[in-house]
Amino acid sequence: MVDFSRRQALAATAGAAALAAAASSTRAAARPAAAPPVPALPAVDLAPRERLSLDFDWRFKLGHAQDPARDFGFGANQGTYAKAGRTAAPAELDFDAGAWAPVTLPHDWAVELPFVDNPAYVPSGKPDDGDPRAAHGYKPLGREFPETSIGWYRKTFALPAADAGKRLSIEFDGAFRDALVIVNGYILEREDSGYSPFRVDITDIANVGGDNSLVVRVDASLGEGWFYEGAGLYRHVWLVKTAPVHVPQWGVFVRARVDGTLSIDTDLVNEGEARAEFELLHTVLDAAGRPVLTPAAAPGRLPAWERQSLSLTVTLPRPVPWTLENPHLYSLVTEVKVGGAVVDRYVTRFGVRSVVFDADKGFLLNGASVKLKGTCNHQDHAGVGAAIPDALQVWRLEQLKSMGCNAYRASHNPPTPELLDACDRLGIVVIDETRRMSSDPTSMDELERLVRRDRNHPSVILWSIGNEEPQQATARGAKVAATMKRLVNRLDPSRLVIAAMDQGFGEGISAVIDVQGFNYRHEKMDDFHARFPHVPVIGTESASTVSTRGEYARDDAKAYVPAYDTEHPWWATTAEKWWSHAADRPWMAGGFIWTGFDYRGEPTPFNRWPSVSSHFGALDTCGFPKDNYYYYRAWWRPEPLLHLLPHWNWEGREGQPIAVWAHSNCDKVELFLNGKSQGVRDVVPNHHVEWSVPYAPGVIEAHGYKAGKVILRERRETAGPAAALRLTADRSRVAADGQDVAILKVEVLDAKGRSVPRADDLISFTLSGPGQVIGVGNGDPTSHEPDVASQRKAFNGLAQAIVRTRRGQAGELRVTASAPGLKASTVSVAVGD
Ligand code: GAL
């Protein structure tokens, strides 16, 4: 849990703050080969099953946590449950929500709220004292903000007469949090968890052949974590229609062995009045959609209102393994026939791979040793908060991959399922984590839903049952962990269990978990390994340099920290110290840095207003790389790389020493200032090289040598004043589905086209065509500008806009970025199928 007592302690490594630095760049470093496009999965027609998006045409309005009169009458006179079907005004079918805001899911209302200082907070002066509201990113959520902590979502949907006799349900991928689901006035579900998926059967109260009202009251007064968590229906919602005899949610579990043996467990339910004679058929499709295996149909009989499990073991011919380089995905299509007719189809994606953790060899994927080059991440992004569109989810993972990252820890909660789909397709392995380490029925139920939902993903390699839990080193903790592990093992005998510990290594839950997770404290790993030579070890949270993109001196007023790899909280260390330690120990499986991306809340190291985002990321909240991104890329990817920092605009610092660093995997690097050599440095693997250079305007240029030859050059030039903008899009074509997004980057350039490293011009976005700017950002961890806006200041020369398409509207999106006095820039993105 959150430990404010250590949040403000910062171990500033000697000299960093003094080493101010600079410069604009002409980049010459080798780039990794362009990431292959995410392979499309074969489309499978699920008819007669239907799974329809309910993401569109919602209306949204804030309610009130204390006053029923301002909460649509909800709870007035304790009347909520008195008569089923009467709940609150918006639940009535004829309620007029015309004045409510139209929204499309995913939607996070917290991101639209202003940042609010905490006037009640008085620093105690103790070095460890942090403002508790900082943890959640200074958004007005919580019991002290009753007027902004309750959100009402409402939509209507029609069900055709042809749905008579079908089983109807609504599946929520997750809602933050305490969601009350009301359909046609009936309260059907109350889900506390802000991260767990849940399903609501609406068959009994649905108006088939008519309109239905769906209302969700979401209460974000309480949080679950110590970081920004968002608020609202921030994940997808689905309407599912099946025949009475069908595969229930998450009803198929495939375990695939590398020799091609498939164990397929299928659950079937009969939610009808008649006994069913059925046939169960499976077909395995390869990644290209070709059928590669069709086992014989299994006949059976299912009495009314019963559930049955059927197991089958078959062998896949010539299995293609799922690897990080070629994440081959199979699709298992399960068909249920009753009376000779197909009544249900269900698809399960899976991969064929083996995962082994070995105390001496580390992590083995398909028998080969793979060092886990992982990042921990929360689930928020600039502009959109927790409501990350699927395409942005993929884009974020691609940025991590481009850094060389091959592993993702979903800290500290079940991720949205689309994240795991993307990891399956991109070849990234995942530690999948439950939110609460407790064996109470609710926590166990959340854990069960996590495992059932995610156990087919080849990307998932470990189940994490907890993170730095207070009871981690106790006998009680061990009992709780054992109960949780028993459940996990029953639901998924194929994967091991881990927990992320920060103390008591070897005690308490250590005796229960299969793989020992170390949060920081890497200096204790050797001792642990010697004491427990049979226990595999992973750095579940490692490194944790705090840095602000493009800043090279500490600025306490603005709450910025230098982007050299020098500053870290006392419990953590630098990228270089962590990775040189990990790389030297083949027995260790590797680890997960804290964090891949900056995230809102936990604005370490300041933990006080005006700082609103963390500084931990190798990339900022927009996904713009910081300098440490290049440290990792140099040592996590095979391509030669040379990155130079800082920028070279140090007006007023002429003659003063500037620390110049290079992150490079070359043999040697030589630095030149305005053509004059500043010396050659030998590169020690997993370390940076540096010089101290008296500032003079002009050019610094680094030459990277391999086997005595210059193979890379990298420059930073003193840029002139801002003159123009350059707007680019991540893709030239996006889908007209109302969900796809283009991610736009704006760079501020001088008259010669060089990046202006400190530019903070206010950039406006105008758009024509079928789309909408849904969020903007700039990666500044102290910015209080609105995220849902059509303008944003640049931060150190960069800003971002996220543009979403409109459903069913093809055409061309033209977005122009403009700023006073600067040449504007326009980008076009085709919108189509
Ligand atoms: C860890 C914790 C993370 C985050 C991190 C910040 O102790 O597990 O959630 O708070 O510290 O350094």
Evaluate whether the domain defined by 53-242 bears CATH number 1.10.1740.10: no
- Position 37 scores a pLDDT of 56
Q: 433 CB less than 6 Å from ligand 1?
A: no
* Catalytic residue flag (residue 747): no
**Residue where the block lists tokens 């595969």:** 247
Q: Say how far apart CA 267 and CA 337 lie, in whole Å.
A: 14
Confidence at 67, pLDDT banded by 50, 70, 90: very high
DSSP state of 364: E
CATH number of the structural domain 355-636: 3.20.20.80
At 118 the pLDDT is 84
From the CA of 365, how far away is ligand 1's center (Å)?
A: 28
pLDDT for residue 178: 98
Out of 468, 469, 551, 701, pick the active-site residue: 468
pLDDT digit string (tens) for 710-755?
999 999 999 999 999 999 999 999 999 999 999 999 999 999 999 9
Q: 492 vs 170, 452, 489, 625, CA distance in Å?
A: 26, 8, 5, 37
Which of 380, 436, 541 to probe ligand 1 with, by most ligand atoms within 8 A of CB? 541
Q: CATH for 648-717?
A: 2.60.40.10
Q: Does ligand 1 have an atom closer than 6 angstroms to the CB of 468?
A: yes
**Ligand 1 centroid to residue 796 C-alpha, Å:** 27
What is d(CA 656, CA 658) in angstroms, rounded to the nearest whole number? 6
CB of 191 closer than 6 A to ligand 1? no
Least confident of 43-47, 240-244, 609-613: 43-47
Q: For residue 127, what pLDDT is reported?
A: 59
Q: Do domains 6-49+246-350 and 648-717 have the same CATH topology?
A: yes
Q: What is the domain class of 6-49+246-350 according to CATH?
A: mainly beta
What is the residue type of 286? D
The per-residue pLDDT for range 457-470, each reduced to its tens digit, is 999 999 999 999 99
Catalytically annotated residue among 191, 398, 418, 541: 541
Mean pLDDT for the stretch of residues 244-248: 98
541 labelled catalytic:
yes
What letter would DSSP give residue 37?
P
Q: Which CATH number fits domain 724-832: 1.10.150.110, 3.40.190.10, 1.10.10.10, 2.60.40.10?
A: 2.60.40.10
Closest C-alpha to ligand 1, atom 10: 2
User: Would the CB of 569 count as within 6 Å of ligand 1?
Assistant: yes
CB of 541 closer than 6 angstroms to any ligand 1 atom: yes
Where is 254: in which H helix or E strand? Answer: strand 252-256
| Predicted pLDDT at 41 | 84
Ligand 1: atom nearest CA of 614 is 6
pLDDT 10s digits, 168-203: 999 999 999 999 999 999 999 999 999 999 999 999
Distances (CA, A) of 583 to 133, 307, 418: 38, 50, 31
pTM above 0.75, yes or no: yes
Residue with tokens 């395409």: 391
Structural domain boundaries of the chain?
Answer: 6-49+246-350, 53-242, 355-636, 648-717, 724-832
pLDDT of residue 819 exceeding 70, the answer is: yes
Give the model confidence (pLDDT) of 603-614 as tens digits: 999 999 999 999
CA of 236 to the centre of ligand 1 (A): 28
